[in-house]
Structure 1
Amino acid sequence: MPRPILIVHGGAGTIPEERHAAAVEGCRRAVQAGWSILEAGGFALDAVEAAVRVLEDDPTFNAGRGSVRTRAGTVEMDALIMEGTTLRAGAVAAVRRVRNPILLARAVMERTPHVLLVGPAAEALAELLELPMADDAELAAPRDRLGEELPRPEGSVNLREILAQALSGPMDTVGAAAMDAAGRLAAAVSTGGMSNKWPGRVGDSALIGCGAYADDRSGAAVATGWGETLMRVVIAKTACDFMALGLSASGAVTAAIRLLEERVNGRGGLIAIDREGRIGIAHNTPHMSWAWTDGRVLEAGIRAPE
């Protein structure tokens, strides 16, 4: 049986140099939190949840307490968690006031008969379960991370202008994939979405197979980047399908990113673990922060290793 292993990412995009150290250190802390569960013989599902919670609580990243604002000035977040043994999954989209969307996604999976809940109804479940709540002021990304606030289009709606503004802002997401001592795989992802996005927009992160996918028979993969293009190639499931065909995790994420670029001119990144316990990291953006450990080594960086 492969050794337990955990990999996390803090998002792909153009990360200013002054944020590199914080992004790498945040990923390192997240992987350590998840590894403490695997090291004690815990489940992969618990490990990815713990890792993503650390990233959601770190305002360095576009998730939880570091989420970007919509065109209306609000915070709307998406999250997904999935385990690879029975293919159970839970997700939330366009949620506000929830401090840790990954906790709510897991609650959807384990406490309801559903897979995806959205908006105020999902928030009502969070309140019913007494999950930690927060307002926009606590959840919104600090201004010093975003730099100058993006102008919001006035007057007539110009969707191309909105898209251009959204793509010029942070697109980073956070995520984790793990294999435990029993060979079980799991994946989790959380995001504040695109900066200046249209309210109600849902990206890849809440959608099974797009933002993340886990299947013990193939592997686990977690995506980040321009969600509209990631969805069009169902990138996380595509990477897992490549692993099912015999590619290693590294080969699978490289092939999936190549497909993303060639088919839809997309940009983003992927992390993965295959059923042999090997990891993969790939992106076609200037940067992607990541960290991984198998208990013997812990590595972290801001670009995919050569």
Structure 2
Amino acid sequence: MGPQKLHSLSRRGFCMCCLGGAAFAAGAGWLTPRQAFAEARGIVSLIKDSAAKAVITTYKLRGNVSVLEGSGGNIAVLTGPDGKLLVDAGIGVSRPQLSKALAELGSEPVARLINTHWHFDHADGNEWLHAAGAKIIAHENTRKHLASIQRVEDWDYVFLPSPSDAVPVDVFTKNQDLTFNGASLALRYYGPAHTDSDISVMFTEANILHVGDTYWNGIYPFIDYSTGGGINGMIAASDANLAVAKDDTIIIPGHGKPVSNKAELQEFRDMLVAIRDNVGNLKQQGKTRDEAVAAKPTAAFDAKWGQFVIDPGFFTRLVYEGV
């Protein structure tokens, strides 16, 4: 979802309208009036506005890998003589702050960009980074979603196709390995998880694993059923990440505190399983979605995980959809 500065806001606080732009889109024949209204409202617009002013914080890790926090999803950067390689692109309006943060990591140009999945807070910066020299790599479903209109029902939002320069040209169906700046990178497709386009990126020698939005550190995750996600896929992705990680692996989540570890990821996975089972039991008892929310099946976890955009009720509804 969005920057850390949104921590203190409830989901109800994300209502806003930018109807001028939507009216233009509808008048140009791109969207129906209903789609244009969705395009102009809600959480996505607020996140983009926040990203325009967000401060980028840099955490230097090891093996010439750093992580940048503040523009949408957490961004990994590998520096070296071949140029800079980024994992995820953030939100386009953060370009000035991201450019400054990248320059502070070294004078090498941007040469490669890997998208962990298609969502705007991870791929909206694709266009300017491609213009800066990045060859974009992603799963084939990321290209599919970026190249066409996408509606995310739970955000009540319609995304227009990305410009051609923002669409990945180097795509794969399952796994891809590459060497860059002398480092080995293993790109692995999860199958449907947070979306149907999620991949992980392992910096092998540095023992750093970027897992995109299959892991939200300390906060309930969003699950995008509109493009193939599901609670069981999220749990399966966590299991896959845990199988790859060692006790000293640095794990970069898509959101939340950007530097994590296997123990914290295990706690996240166990939370998902417990809430999935709680909600599933309520659904098997014949409870409606609203009745399941009222039963507070997340109560044991809310103090730690329920303080961000995805509040307990919203997360319960997401899980209910997938059990």
Tell me, yes or no, whether TM beats 0.5: no
More helix per residue: 2
TM value normalised by structure 2? 0.30
More strand per residue: 1
When Rg is computed on C-alpha atoms for both structures, the one with the higher figure is 2
**Structure with higher RCO (Cα < 8 A, 6+ apart):** 1
